[in-house]
């Protein structure tokens, strides 16, 4: 049986790019480093994709996180719920997230050569 332990809040809305809320995201392991990619709600109430890294990799609970200085990563409006990032054989990273397309759900697909 698995026993979950409650931890402090990992990331809170306190920056212009997420000041109106932090929505669901995912955690990926990139080059041995866990990263959180999440949806932030900015000052204009637009949904943007952001990233956070552990403050201390030696902390087994990874209880404190630092937001990426270059947030937001993606500023396309009305996108949320980013997938786990994945990498291809050529070291390109990919991310998929949902978006509003004429009041119907859709998916956006992004790629980048670096994620950290």
* pLDDT per residue rounded down to tens, the chain (116 residues): 688 889 889 999 999 999 999 988 888 888 888 999 899 999 999 989 899 999 999 999 999 999 999 999 878 767 766 667 767 787 777 776 766 667 666 656 555 656 55
Structural domain spans, the chain:
22-112
pLDDT at 73: 86
Chain centroid offset of residue 80 CA:
9
Residue 24: both structure tokens together: 């669901």
115, 109, 19: which is closest to 68 by C-alpha? Answer: 115
65, 63, 83: which is closest to 74 by C-alpha? Answer: 83
Q: What single DSSP character describes residue 73?
A: S
pLDDT at 108: 63
Question: pTM, whole model, 2 decimals?
Answer: 0.79
């Amino acid at each position: 049986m698995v026993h979950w332990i409650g931890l402090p809040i990992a990331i809170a809305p306190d920056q212009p790019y997420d000041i109106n809320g932090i929505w669901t995201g995912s955690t990926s392991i990139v080059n041995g480093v866990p990263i959180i990619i999440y949806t932030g709600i900015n000052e204009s109430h637009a949904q943007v994709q952001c990233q956070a890294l552990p403050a201390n990799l030696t902390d087994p609970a990874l209880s404190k996180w630092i937001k990426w200085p270059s947030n937001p990563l993606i500023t396309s409006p009305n996108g949320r719920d980013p997938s786990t990032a994945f990498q291809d054989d050529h070291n390109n990273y990919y991310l998929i997230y949902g978006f509003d397309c004429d009041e119907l759900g859709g998916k956006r697909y992004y790629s980048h050569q670096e994620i950290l």
